[in-house]
Structure 1
Amino acid sequence: MLRLFKRSGAAPVTVTLVGKPGCHLCDDARRTVREVAAETGADVEELDITAPDFDPALKQEYWEQIPVTLVNGARHDFWRVDAERLRKAIAAAARG
């Protein structure tokens, strides 16, 4: 597995995917996020917007935009994930 941005001194990067079960756009986004994360060495976390403990304010904000991706907690994209744009965001986050 090629890890382009995991080098000494690089800041850790986490890509968060906010989605829900049964969402075809979420499935597409998940594939892209996992592929790019595998290439770059970024960590991936997934949050289910339908979970009872999901933050109500974020649920209200994100509900009509899922899937939503965040890079190190900052909103990156919604509905569709462009792999090249995500790679660039991860690289920028890794540089700090």
Structure 2
Amino acid sequence: MTDSQPRTVPRVELLVKDGCHLCADALAVVEEVCTRHGVRWHAVDVGHHPELAERHAEEIPVLMVDGVQRDFWRIDPVRLERLLTAGSA
């Protein structure tokens, strides 16, 4: 008997802001890992979302997976990979 539960695709967002040198590094990590796993993601500029800018002011960039903060400042590619593959097996 096989498990026929469909795998849910994680929702990945990266909160960034203009002029943030850590954001450039984070964008590259998220792009590489998500592309390798076929996971769509998007960057959210906190400059257009004052509530996010206030909430995460000292943590940008922030990695969100399925609405949960998973990393900030430096995005760990190994951790992101684990998060993306946690539901598969």
The normalised TM-score by structure 2 is: 0.85
Matches of 1:86 and 1:55, distance apart in 2: 26
Residue pairs, 1:1-96, within 5 angstroms: 9-51=6-48, 54-56=49-51, 58-92=52-86, 94-95=87-88
Q: Tell me, what secondary structure is at the counterpart of 1:64?
A: coil
- How many residues are paired up? 84
- Structure whose alpha-carbon radius of gyration is higher: 2
The root-mean-square deviation of aligned C-alpha atoms, in Å, is: 1.5
| 4+ residue segments displaced more than 4 Å | none
The normalised TM-score by structure 1 is: 0.80
Q: Residues 53-83 of structure 1, C-alpha deviation per residue, up to 9 Å, x if partnerless?
A: x152x32220110000001111110000110
Q: How many percent of aligned residue pairs carry the same amino acid? A: 36
5+ residue gaps, structure 1: 1-7
